[in-house]
Structure 1
């Protein structure tokens, strides 16, 4: 895509871009500004006028997004990675709870099985006449 088309789209979608950028964390916006600054230095050294203009538009939009975010107390939208990590942690916690229940059930069953033979022996004494039938 040519720089002219990118500049035109950046200007046409300025409000949407700023609204989207405002949902990012302040540290992510600061990192974007640093990246744009580094790219601008390279563009200046190589005398890429259209790239410099595009980067200036992006820089302006990131700064506007930071101001808009601060003035309107816009909360950060968690990234897909953060959401996936939270979901994995919740699943792991649920799995641990299930494992605890399973372990408790196993120990209860083992205790019951250990008590049952003793109860049978108490309830049914060996009678010689019963043994002779077999």
Structure 2
């Protein structure tokens, strides 16, 4: 995609881009600004005026997003990766809980199964029950 098209899209979608950036962590926005600064220095050395213009637009939008985030106390939205990791951890925790319940239940069933067998062997036949036959 050419720089001119990127500049046009950055200007047309500025509000959408700023709103998205405002949901990102401040640390990430600071890192973006640092990267833009480094790219700006390289573009300046290479005399890439179109790139300089695009980088300035992005830098300005990132600064606006940080200001909006601070003024409106906008919470960070977790990334898809963070959400996926949280889902996996939750699934593993539930699986462990189920396994514990299963282990407890199976040990209880085993204990109960062993106890009646011992009682049957030790208890004499009840004559009242035999008379029914």
Q: Which residue of 2 aligns with 1:16?
A: 16
Q: What's the Cα RMSD here?
A: 1.2
Q: How many angstroms apart in 1 are the aligned matches of 2:116 and 2:46?
A: 87
Please report how far the alpha carbon of residue 124 of structure 1 lies from its aligned counterpart in structure 2 after TM superposition.
4.7
Q: How many angstroms apart in 2 are the aligned matches of 1:3 and 1:52?
A: 10
Moved over 4 A (4+): none
TM-score, reference length from structure 2: 0.89
SS of the residue aligned with 2:47?
A: coil
Q: Which residue of 1 aligns with 2:6?
A: 6
Q: How many angstroms apart in 1 are the aligned matches of 2:31 and 2:47?
A: 24
Please report how far the alpha carbon of residue 85 of structure 1 lies from its aligned counterpart in structure 2 after TM superposition.
1.1
Q: Which residue of 2 aligns with 1:31?
A: 31
Superposed CA deviations along residues 9-45 of structure 1, whole A, max 9, x for unmatched, are 1111111111111010101101111111111111111
Superposed CA deviations along residues 78-132 of structure 1, whole A, max 9, x for unmatched, are 100111111111111111110110010111012112212211112356xxxxxxx
Q: How many angstroms apart in 2 are the aligned matches of 1:97 and 1:124?
A: 43
Structure 2, unmatched stretches of 5+, are 126-133
Q: How many angstroms apart in 1 are the aligned matches of 2:34 and 2:41?
A: 11
Aligned residues: 125
TM-score, reference length from structure 1: 0.88
Q: How many angstroms apart in 2 are the aligned matches of 1:64 and 1:117?
A: 77
Q: How many angstroms apart in 2 are the aligned matches of 1:84 and 1:59?
A: 30
